[in-house]
Structure 1
Amino acid sequence: MKESLVHGLSGSLSAIIATLFLHPLDTIRIRMQSTHSKTTLRLFLKELRTNGNLMSLYSGFISSIISTATSQGVYFLVYKAMQVFLSKGKRGLTVLDDLIVSVIASFITILVNTPIWTVNTRLMKSEKEESISSCFSSIIKHEGIQGLFKGMGTSLVLILNPVIQFVTYEHMKRRFKQKKLNAGVYFIFGALTKFIATMVTYPFLTLRTRVQLEDQKTLSFVDALKDILENEGASALYNGLLTKVLQAVLNSAIVLASHEHLTKILCLLCLTKKIRVAAK
């Protein structure tokens, strides 16, 4: 259990590091998915004209930190716990084991984090400052508890994203196990596997964003899809794709490279503490 907690903690810390640098890109992606805007540059220029700076792109930053740290922490904790459980009595895990581990970790992460993601999405879409608590209260007041879980159905479809990524990631790690892997290699592995997963699942991410941003009524996955296809065309499903690919690929690369490195450091600290306790 302690090993799983170490992985959960390193996952949270890695997510915080990535979010510090990449939050503006995710804000732009949210705004592009919620409007007809097609280019990242247009949104950057709009922010400069309106505010004279790009600070509004950090709307929902605290919520984003909480969201990413919680989701990555839960994911890595459950992921490692399941790996340990399935590896008992085995020499190593198979691709099927990786698939099972990733699906279970993704499902639990979505269940725990959907309310946080909904609040975070609303805050990033807004160009005015709003606190997490006021946004949370507003959703409860006007939409009820179910308002916090908008987009959960689409999120369950998006389980495909981490499943594709982590099954591929674990396969690549095993494939090159005999070679010395450093942070740079993990960075490349994380970037490549996330790129593949994002390209496959991006339209579902757009649909989830539309569902979560609808505060007047409950919009279903199918309704959101029909609305986009009828009024904007299929290409709208890919609004903000370039920004998301850039953000997701860099985020994943930073998170996985940092996670591998931080896990080693935390394990070493735990070992040092054990030795000191034993010495006493």
Structure 2
Amino acid sequence: MSDSAIHSIAGAAGGIVAMSATYPLIFLSTRAAVETKKEQKSTYQAILDIIKREGVLGLYSGLNSSLLGIAVANGVYYYFYERSKETILRSRSSKALSTLESMLAGLIAGSATTIISNPIWVIQTSQAVHTIGTDAGQLVVAKKLGFIETVKSIIAKDGIAAFWRGIGPALILVINPIIQYTAFEQLKNFLIARRTSKLRAAGVVAAVAVLSDWDFFLLGALSKLVATSFTYPYIVIKSRLQAGTANSLRYKSSLDGLLTILKEEGVEGLYRGIGSKVTQSVLTAAILFAGQRRIFEVTKAALQPIIKA
């Protein structure tokens, strides 16, 4: 089995762990991004309101499709990223990607991931916002739909094409992992080079610094913080389009959606739910980068006897 395939397995497993740990924050940011009302609530108050209306399990609506989505998305992304990285590095002797090369590998991996996984995120978003409804101005709880029920509901209502709702802003958001992985690679290369120089200056001539799990955790968190902060307005647009709400169906394009939100809700509308999203994204990325590396090493070591046989 190639390293790219093992990276894919490790990425999928790491994503499932990270998603399971942080899902309530994803749920809250999705709800906030889709709701267009002016009322502002703290994350704490939003949690209390959802628990009151839907119970604790309400914070996990759409978790099943999210776990499938993150497994597919991370598996596909890591496979294409590592395969692209291997192809680039084989053409020369260097073991590190330049900034432009990191961006190219991220563009290839991100585009493939977006096209393949978009239907799953449409289902997840639909499940997350399905219980949003009004009755005389009050929020009411609708019947929760399972994965298959949600698929049938989307097809019956809008047809197969609905599974690629929001594909425009989703493709634009390929820039998010490009920024994230480019920042990660360059920070990682900088840290390794700096520590290696210190080791060699101390007299360890052939030394090459090795990063710890904690280093990967912090680098993953920092790189995701940068990426999400830059791209959040398009995350709002993507969530609204994938939810298929009446308001979002008025948007003629991603740009029209941005301008409409600015006009009707102000700048704050483009950043609705950013607090819980940034917290979730940073934690997820930190857990993913640390976990993926460790799972990769364990999986590769476990497969070595089989490969040699």
Q: What is residue 276 of structure 2 aligned with on the other side?
A: 243
User: Which one-letter code corresponds to 1:85 in the other structure?
Assistant: T
* Identical-pair percentage: 28
Tell me which moved more, 249-258 or 164-173. Answer: 164-173
Q: What is residue 181 of structure 1 aligned with on the other side?
A: 211
Cα deviations across residues 215-268 of structure 1 (Å, max 9, x unaligned)?
Answer: 554743234223312221111111111100000000000001001111111111
Pick from 33, 37, 40: which aligns with 2:43?
A: 40
Q: Is the 8 A contact 1:12 1:69 kept in 2?
A: yes
Q: Is the 8 A contact 1:211 1:224 kept in 2?
A: no
Q: Is the 8 A contact 1:143 1:215 kept in 2?
A: no
Q: What is residue 66 of structure 2 aligned with on the other side?
A: 64
User: Which one-letter code corresponds to 1:140 in the other structure?
Assistant: I
Cα distance in structure 1, aligned partners of 2:301 and 2:187:
25
Q: What is residue 166 of structure 1 aligned with on the other side?
A: 181
CA shift for structure 1 position 48: 3.1
Structure 1 residues not aligned, in runs of 5+: none
Q: What is residue 10 of structure 1 aligned with on the other side?
A: 10
Q: What is residue 131 of structure 1 aligned with on the other side?
A: 146
Cα distance in structure 1, aligned partners of 2:129 and 2:64:
14
Cα distance in structure 1, aligned partners of 2:51 and 2:164:
34
Q: Is the 8 A contact 2:11 2:292 kept in 1?
A: yes
Cα distance in structure 1, aligned partners of 2:191 and 2:29:
34
After TM superposition, the structure 1 = structure 2 runs for residues 264-275 of structure 1, keeping only pairs within 5 Å, are: 264-275=297-308
Q: Give the secondary-structure state (helix, strand or coil) at the position aligned to 1:64.
A: helix
Q: Give the secondary-structure state (helix, strand or coil) at the position aligned to 2:210.
A: coil
Q: What is residue 104 of structure 1 aligned with on the other side?
A: 108
Tell me which moved more, 191-200 or 131-140. Answer: 131-140
**Cα distance, 1:140–1:215 mapped onto 2, change above 3 Å:** farther
**Cα distance, 1:215–1:49 mapped onto 2, change above 3 Å:** closer
Cα distance in structure 1, aligned partners of 2:162 and 2:267:
27
Q: Is the 8 A contact 1:210 1:224 kept in 2?
A: no
Cα distance in structure 1, aligned partners of 2:258 and 2:100:
32
Cα distance in structure 2, aligned partners of 1:218 and 1:91:
52
CA shift for structure 1 position 201: 0.4
Q: What is residue 151 of structure 1 aligned with on the other side?
A: 166
Structure 1 residue 122 and structure 2 residue 126: aligned?
yes
Q: Give the secondary-structure state (helix, strand or coil) at the position aligned to 1:274.
A: helix
Cα distance in structure 1, aligned partners of 2:155 and 2:275:
33
- Select the structure of larger CA radius of gyration: 2
Cα deviations across residues 48-95 of structure 1 (Å, max 9, x unaligned)?
Answer: 3324x3210100111010011110010001111111111113122322
Structure 1 residue 222 and structure 2 residue 250: aligned?
no
TM-score using structure 2 length = 0.85
Cα distance in structure 1, aligned partners of 2:294 and 2:51:
37
Cα distance in structure 1, aligned partners of 2:276 and 2:100:
32
After TM superposition, the structure 1 = structure 2 runs for residues 11-30 of structure 1, keeping only pairs within 5 Å, are: 11-30=11-30
Structure 2 residues not aligned, in runs of 5+: 132-142, 197-208
Q: What is residue 50 of structure 1 aligned with on the other side?
A: 53
Q: What is residue 201 of structure 2 aligned with on the other side?
A: none
Q: Give the secondary-structure state (helix, strand or coil) at the position aligned to 1:176.
A: helix
Pick from 57, 75, 78: which aligns with 2:77?
A: 75
Cα distance in structure 2, aligned partners of 1:247 and 1:195:
10
CA shift for structure 1 position 42: 2.3
Q: Give the secondary-structure state (helix, strand or coil) at the position aligned to 1:122.
A: helix
Cα deviations across residues 170-215 of structure 1 (Å, max 9, x unaligned)?
Answer: 1122122233311111000000000000100001100111111225
Structure 1 residue 259 and structure 2 residue 289: aligned?
no
Cα distance in structure 2, aligned partners of 1:215 and 1:134:
18
Q: Give the length in aligned residue pairs.
A: 275
Cα distance in structure 2, aligned partners of 1:274 and 1:103:
31
Structure with greater helix share of residues: 1
